[in-house]
Amino acid sequence: MSKIDHSLFNADEHALQHAYGSCPQCQAKLQIRSGKSGPFLGCSRYPACHFSKPLHEYQSHEVKVIEGTACPACHSPLAVKKGRFGLFIGCTNFPDCHHIEKLAQQEDEQLGCPVCHKGKLLRRTNKFGKSFYACDQYPHCRYLLNLPPVTKTCPVCSWPLMVRKGNMLICPQKACQHKMASD
């Protein structure tokens, strides 16, 4: 029968005391805290000290710089970057410049926005992974749909598009909400 060496399980209580460093304002230890936007480093003397900083300085990193490109805002090179919503094209001068572009154009049919008549309805993804369809003229136009739009005029109110839910087409206008079977 072998003996267990219990000294392997003893931990020095101060071993992780300064794992994240000290607060630059009050010199107390920093610790991982949780907020509505996720985890962050915060001062252990909160609420007396309000110092906090993100765990990761920026939520994206460069995958590859695109040679021969220039940011339309600041003329720095553009790069393919990876963020929380996947790959995108962004300025290498971030955080001073916030220019971003979609990596690939959408291949599905793009419907015109029925509100501003300038933009197109594009599929977007929120931070929880749910899809929605919004006008690409945001923030000037805030029209959005939670279901996929279809080029079909509503027979009741004449709204230029409807949304698909299963095998039904529904008018997205709150005053109408006409339902019909899809073709």
Domain limits of the chain? Answer: 19-57, 61-101, 108-183
- Write down the pLDDT at residue 62: 63
Spans of the chain below 70 pLDDT: 1-2, 6-19, 56-62, 84-86, 103-109, 183
- Write down the pLDDT at residue 88: 81
Nearest 5°: phi and psi at 6?
-70, -15
| Residue 40, beta-bridge partner list | 33, 54
Residue 146 DSSP label: S
How many other C-beta atoms can be found within 10 angstroms of the C-beta atom of residue 154?
19
- Write down the pLDDT at residue 163: 93
- Write down the pLDDT at residue 176: 92
Residue 143 to residue 133: CA distance in whole angstroms: 9
